[in-house]
């Protein structure tokens, strides 16, 4: 897209003062022997107002996961207090710049691979797929992002994706010396044991047709009680919110619909973080007013956290007759084989070079996972 923009940008700038008088059209405009495209002036949208709320909610959920990953779940932000260097580095991931891993630019561009044009409104499942793909290029945070398909979380697949062998320190092909004693052998064995890659687990769900089915309410609320909870993405048609908890039958949410100016890195490498945090108190809405398309989020830093999450799901979610989602041990035999996602071989982390990785294990992105009435 950028090559097209650069080709015509100079030509369109000449007529910038007159473009509002032309019709909204994709047709070529011919003036004095040169062709112009009315819709390719500038460098794209200058704001995400009106279309970026679900992307911002996805950023919120991911930012919470990264805070848990680097600073711990009990860490709290305090205004005008010097923050850890990890915190500043987390902020760098979300700056509104094209070269930042989880910027609005990267998310919007990656959405093109999911069939969403830049400037088009996303649903919770699309945002989940976008985060899954962008995480492949994020070596510092080293997150494994698993997005459940067909309302099913597969334990075997997650463990295959999160268990990674540490880098070997010995030279390949060399056999251990004969003098290796039992103690050294034990250490060598433990060094080859799989490590756990921190897991961001996202479960897109459809909890009704036109409105949430009341039979899911108790199970939905139970998810916010879990120590692994990252809340939920959802909202109402054309209005996305980040749900972080509940009070009775009311959901507590953060609202991204506050237009703010661009923030960049300061000269000392830090980021002015005032607008990265809530400027108003969290809001509440009755759970029955929630659109039925949602995406639950969970973070498991270690394998024992995931095992604990599985136990809680077995106890609190799967006891219901009409279950929100399924948790199975083995990969379903009728599904295509599970292949852990891997970073494509590219020379840049720019999302414009990334095609749609995998094909979601040959499953289609169904619109019933998306918020309707857009």
Is 257 among the residues known to form the active site? Answer: yes
Of 53, 68, 162, 223, which one is the catalytic site residue? Answer: 53
Is 138 among the residues known to form the active site? Answer: no
Of 255, 291, 300, 305, which one is the catalytic site residue? Answer: 255
Q: How far is CA 205 from CA 220, 244, 331, in A?
A: 10, 17, 19
Q: Which residues of 292-319 are buried (b: 16+ CB within 10 A; e: fewer)?
A: bbbbbbbbbbebebbeebbebbeebbee
Of 99, 218, 249, 257, which one is the catalytic site residue? Answer: 257
Is 300 among the residues known to form the active site? Answer: no
Return the active site residues: 53, 255, 257
């Amino acid at each position: 897209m950028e090559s097209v923009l650069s080709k015509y940008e100079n030509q369109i700038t000449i007529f910038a003062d007159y473009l509002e008088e032309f019709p909204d059209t994709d047709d070529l405009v011919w003036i004095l022997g040169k062709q112009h495209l009315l819709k390719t002036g500038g460098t794209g949208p200058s704001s995400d107002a009106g279309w970026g709320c679900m992307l911002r909610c996805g950023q919120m959920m991911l930012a919470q996961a990264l805070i848990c990953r680097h600073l711990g779940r009990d860490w709290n932000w305090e205004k005008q207090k010097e923050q850890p260097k990890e915190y500043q580095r987390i902020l760098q991931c979300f700056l509104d710049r094209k070269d930042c891993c989880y910027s609005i630019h990267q998310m919007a561009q990656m959405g093109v691979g999911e069939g969403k044009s830049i400037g088009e409104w996303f649903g919770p499942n699309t945002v989940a797929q976008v985060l899954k793909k962008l995480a492949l290029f994020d070596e510092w945070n080293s997150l494994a992002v698993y997005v459940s398909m067909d309302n099913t979380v597969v334990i075997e697949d997650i463990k295959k994706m999160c268990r990674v062998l540490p880098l070997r320190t010995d030279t390949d092909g060399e056999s251990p010396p004969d003098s290796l004693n039992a103690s050294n052998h034990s250490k060598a064995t433990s060094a080859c044991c799989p490590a756990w890659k921190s897991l961001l687990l996202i479960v897109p769900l459809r909890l009704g047709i036109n409105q949430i089915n009341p039979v899911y309410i108790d199970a939905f609320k139970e998810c916010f009680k879990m120590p692994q909870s990252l809340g939920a993405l959802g909202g109402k048609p054309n209005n996305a919110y980040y749900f972080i908890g509940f009070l009775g039958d009311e959901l507590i949410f953060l609202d991204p619909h506050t237009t703010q100016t661009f923030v960049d890195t300061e000269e000392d490498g830090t980021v002015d973080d005032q607008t990265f945090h809530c400027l108003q108190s969290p809001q509440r809405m009755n759970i029955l007013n929630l659109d039925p398309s949602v995406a639950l989020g969970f973070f498991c830093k270690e394998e024992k956290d995931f095992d604990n999450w599985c136990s809680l799901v077995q106890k609190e979610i799967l006891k219901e007759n009409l279950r929100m989602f399924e948790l199975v041990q083995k990969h379903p035999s009728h599904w295509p084989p599970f292949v852990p996602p891997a970073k494509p071989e590219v020379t840049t982390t720019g999302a414009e070079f990334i095609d749609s990785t995998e094909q979601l294990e040959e499953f289609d992105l169904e619109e019933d996972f998306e918020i309707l009435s857009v």
